[in-house]
């Protein structure tokens, strides 16, 4: 049996913009999907998906997930016409939108295949195979999610460039609030593309600001100026609202987190549902914001970046 792990992620700056080469900042979180791969008699593959999930997520993503597994197997060179495999997915990462669930599972499966079939895949190859798997979910992914799921840590990610690690003084507490809405990342990305083509001058201005913001945010993280990081997250959320990838549930949770003392808050990931993230340094503030989110009937995940 082969076993593999892939981390969940939180994009702190510039989801969507990253698709067009704008720098982004992403952190893996301490929740992961674990994949087990076992050989069985016959041919083909079967899946037992035991991950905890937002209601409706698995059903909604089933077709994309099947396509994704086919792609991962192909990219890893595992021919299931000659061998049958049983894939089991589990772990403590909730299968939900905005938290890197699809990328985490692609990475976990690639690692498990590598172990079971003695493929000796390097980290770079795992990442590349997961990227192929991600295409089933995103169409034209930037690669930020699979990169975070593979390498972990806090990363400066620019499409097509080598990653840079951002090392900060101490990990920082965050809260991720789940709207409970299953979102379609591919549709969200396509919507941005369409609107950008319709209004290039306006989008150019927004994209330029997103790019400048990423550099300032990297410096603020390195300086451990968390107030500044929070303010920049707030501004990043406004830019994401401007390109129309937020929604009223995300805006509500973002506002709620700020009212309860978060240093900053924004949607995270593809948007149009899924998760938001609030910067909440210290256990007390983290508890307070998470409680406020739960009181409103939403799920809240307490974790850390860096």
* Residues designated catalytic: 145
Give yes or no for a contact between 91 and 46, defined as CB atoms under 8 angstroms apart.
Answer: no
CB of 230 to ligand MEV, least distance (A): 21
Piece of 10-18, 69-77, 200-208, 256-264 that binds ligand MEV (CB under 6 A): 10-18
With binding defined as CB under 6 A, does residue 145 bind ligand MEV? yes
Closer residue to ligand MEV, CB minimum distance, 139 or 171: 139
Handedness of CA 227, 251, 146, 36 (dihedral sign): positive
In the list 6, 269, 281, 306, the residue contacting ligand MEV (rule: CB under 6 A) is 269
Piece of 9-17, 122-130, 198-206, 248-256 that binds ligand MEV (CB under 6 A): 9-17
CB of 109 to ligand MEV, least distance (A): 18
Task: Please measure the distance between the N-terminal and C-terminal CA atoms of the chain and give it in whole angstroms.
Answer: 32
Site for ligand MEV in 165-194 (CB under 6 A): 185, 189
In the list 10, 12, 18, 217, the residue contacting ligand MEV (rule: CB under 6 A) is 18
Piece of 52-60, 136-144, 247-255, 287-295 that binds ligand MEV (CB under 6 A): 136-144
**Is residue 205 within a helix (H) or strand (E), and if so which, with residue range?**
helix 200-222
Q: Report CA dihedral (108, 265, 194, 201) to the nearest 10 degrees.
A: -130
Piece of 120-128, 138-146, 168-176, 204-212 that binds ligand MEV (CB under 6 A): 138-146
Length of the chain measured in residues: 306
Closer residue to ligand MEV, CB minimum distance, 110 or 226: 110
With binding defined as CB under 6 A, does residue 12 bind ligand MEV? no
Q: Burial-class residue 118 by CB neighbours within 10 Å (0-12, 13-18, 19+).
A: exposed
Give the residue closest to ligand MEV by C-beta: 142
Closer residue to ligand MEV, CB minimum distance, 2 or 269: 269
- Alpha-carbon span 143 to 157, nearest angstrom: 9
In the list 144, 163, 262, 300, the residue contacting ligand MEV (rule: CB under 6 A) is 144
User: Could you say which DSSP state residue 159 is in?
Assistant: T
Own/partner contacts of 296-300, CB < 8 Å, gap of 24 or more, are 296/252, 296/253, 296/256, 298/177, 298/178, 298/179, 298/180, 298/253, 299/54, 299/94, 299/177, 299/178, 299/180, 300/175, 300/176, 300/177, 300/178
Q: Burial-class residue 293 by CB neighbours within 10 Å (0-12, 13-18, 19+).
A: buried
CB of 1 to ligand MEV, least distance (A): 30
Give yes or no for a contact between 69 and 87, defined as CB atoms under 8 angstroms apart.
Answer: yes
CB of 21 to ligand MEV, least distance (A): 11
Positions that interact with ligand MEV (CB under 6 A): 11, 15-16, 18-19, 138, 141-142, 144-145, 185, 189, 269-270
């Amino acid at each position: 049996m082969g076993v593999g792990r892939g981390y969940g992620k939180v994009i702190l700056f510039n989801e969507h913009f990253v698709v067009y080469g704008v720098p982004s900042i992403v952190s893996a979180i301490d929740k992961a999907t674990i994949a087990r791969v076992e050989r069985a008699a016959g041919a083909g593959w079967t899946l037992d998906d035991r991950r905890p999930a937002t209601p409706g997520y698995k059903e909604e993503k089933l077709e994309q997930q099947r396509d994704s597994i086919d792609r991962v197997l192909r990219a890893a060179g595992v021919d299931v016409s000659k061998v049958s495999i049983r894939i089991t997915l589990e772990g403590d990462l909730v299968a939900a939108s905005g938290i890197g669930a699809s990328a985490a599972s692609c990475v976990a499966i690639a690692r498990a295949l590598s172990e079971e079939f003695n493929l000796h895949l390097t980290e770079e190859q795992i990442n590349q195979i997961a990227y192929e798997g991600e295409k089933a979910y995103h169409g034209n992914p930037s690669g930020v999610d699979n990169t975070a799921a593979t390498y972990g840590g806090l990363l400066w990610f620019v499409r097509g460039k080598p990653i840079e690690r951002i090392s900060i003084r101490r990990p920082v507490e965050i809260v991720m609030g789940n709207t409970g809405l299953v979102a379609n990342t591919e549709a969200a990305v396509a919507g941005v593309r369409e609107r950008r083509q319709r209004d290039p001058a306006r989008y150019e201005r927004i994209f330029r600001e997103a790019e400048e913001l990423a550099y300032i945010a990297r410096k603020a993280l390195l300086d451990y100026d968390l107030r500044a990081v929070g303010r920049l997250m707030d501004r990043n959320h406004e830019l994401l609202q401007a390109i129309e990838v937020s929604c009223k549930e995300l805006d509500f949770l973002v506002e709620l987190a700020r009212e309860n003392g978060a240093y900053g808050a924004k949607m995270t990931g593809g948007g149009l549902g899924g998760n938001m993230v609030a910067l909440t340094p210290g256990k007390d503030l983290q508890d307070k914001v998470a409680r406020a989110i739960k009181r409103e009937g939403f799920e809240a995940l307490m974790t850390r970046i860096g």
